[in-house]
Structure 1
Amino acid sequence: MSIRAVVTDIEGTTTDIAFVHETLFPYSVRALPDFVRKHATDPEVAEAVEDVRGVMGAPEADLELVITQLMEWIARDEKVTPLKTLQGMVWRAGYRKGDFTGHVYADAVLALQAWHERGIRLYVYSSGSVAAQKLLFGHSDAGDLTSLFDGYFDTRVGGKKEAASYRTILQTLGEPAASVLFLSDVVAELDAAAAAGLQTCLLVREPGLEVKSHHPVARDFSEIPQLGA
């Protein structure tokens, strides 16, 4: 069945892992504590802080304890939704101030533009919040790419290694599973997507790394076999 929609991961797929780990994460480590203190009474921050307390199971936790928990989650690279929400707010400020731009591989930009022109619907599914996803593509090295995408998904639909998450995404897309292609650099995520019936492709961008996989493999977006590469 021909591909009618593409769902893509970000980190290691459209975007260099180094940008996330050497730019975005350190920026949030530096900026998040003061950001939360300064904006604690803003409605969107206050709601996220309450969500943190809920995950902690500590509804009476003071702000400093919440911040301590957030920093522990960052150190462990935990995929906790309210953390991702707050990081997205911090990164929004950074993008708007021009402290950095979002890295997107040139091959990904060209392919996404070509697929969009062919009428293929494009979506993002990342553990980063939807807000953070939109910021990265909206302030990318190649300019504002958000017009290419029909929608975004984050951990609110479930974990990326759970087949149920991809079934939820399919319900939103309204497409047969076999007509949807999921792109990622993580085999466990691709396994979950395949279990839900999606087509898959493993991105292996590290030069010289030989990978044997039961998923189709591509070195970059120009090599993805399901889309005529």
Structure 2
Amino acid sequence: MSAIKAIVTDIEGTTSSIDFVHQTLFPYAKAHLRAFLSAHAQDEAVQQILHDVAQIEARELTPDQAATVLEQWIGEDRKLTPLKSLQGLIWAQGYASGELKGHVYPDTPKYLRQWHAQGLKLYVYSSGSVAAQKLIFGHTEHGDLTPLFSGYFDTRVGAKREVASYQRILESLALLGEEVLFLSDIGEELDAAREAGLKTCQLLRDDRAIAFAHHPSAHDFAGVKV
């Protein structure tokens, strides 16, 4: 049996509070969405986002109509790349101004640093954009944690409940499934990862997490067996 060489971690409910994302980040992005689109309408990145929204909706959209669609997607918690990209841009502005600080559980930096010191490669896989992931870990109250990570994956690699997404991650890492441990609070994500061959551990950080008995579990990173 191969030893674990890499850990791939989810963010919400795993390294960071679900409430931070849903009660702080999402409302912040929604509140600043229209002003940001207006101020940056000519930016190439924003132009691409508006194009992608129109493609998904399969109709021509004015910037105002696209903003309405994006606001609706935020309300529905849609895991769509153009929305995640826009949220990342808005959050970057918030982090840069000091209005936002990335939340991580108190044990997160301790164990990320410990695993990194042990020679394990650390990666993030979240439905939030790579840019947003780097912002959360780069602006925490425990300092910049991004040097601990070797890479990041988002919805561009596929949906988190699809087996093929984890197969692509393994291809990218050039590792066997049994050499990679995936951490998440969502059972269906863990199911997909295990089917792709990865080792799994479910984080049960609060009462909202639904335990999947066929995966090892831990209440915090101290209980994760590596």
TM-score normalised by structure 2 residue count: 0.97
Residue 180 of structure 1: aligned partner: 180
Aligned pair in 2 of structure 1 residues 117, 17: CA closer, same or farther (>3 Å)? same
Structural mapping, 1:1-229, within 5 Å: 1-58=2-59, 60-206=60-206, 211=211, 213-225=213-225, 227=226
Pairwise CA distance, 1:207: 5.8
* Equivalent position amino acid for 1:190 in 2: L
How far apart, CA to CA, are the structure 1 residues paired with 2:143 and 2:158?
A: 30
2:7 and 2:181 in contact (8 A); partners too: yes
Deviations 1:28-76 (A, max 9, x none): 1100111011101011111111111111111x31111100100010010
For 1:10, the aligned partner's letter is I
Mapped to 2, the partners of 1:14 and 1:105 lie a distance apart of 6
| Higher mean C-alpha deviation, range 206-215 or range 25-34 | 206-215
Q: Distance in 2 between matches of 1:208 and 1:137?
A: 23
Letter in 1 for 2:33: L
Unaligned runs of 5+ in 2: none
Cα drift, residue 206 of structure 1: 1.2
Shift of 1:211: 3.7
Q: Secondary structure at the match of 2:45?
A: helix
> How many residues get paired?
225
User: Is the CA contact (8 Å cut-off) linking 2:187 and 2:202 kept in structure 1?
Assistant: yes
Cα drift, residue 208 of structure 1: 10
Change (3 A) 1:71 1:111: same
Q: 2:111 aligns to what SS in structure 1?
A: helix
| Structure 1 residues 21 and 210: CA distance shift in structure 2, 3 A | closer
Pair 1:49–1:159, CA change in 2 (3 A): same
Runs of 4+ deviating beyond 6 Å? none
What TM-score comes out, normalization by structure 1 length? Answer: 0.96
Residues 1:15 and 1:54: Cα distance change in structure 2 (over 3 Å): same
- The one-letter code matched in structure 2 to 1:206 is D
Q: CA RMSD in A?
A: 1.3
Task: Give how far 1:152 is off.
Answer: 0.2
CA distance in 1, matches of 2:72, 2:207: 33
Percent of pairs with identical residues: 52
Deviation string for 1:128-164 (max 9, x for gaps)? 0000000000111211110000000000000000000
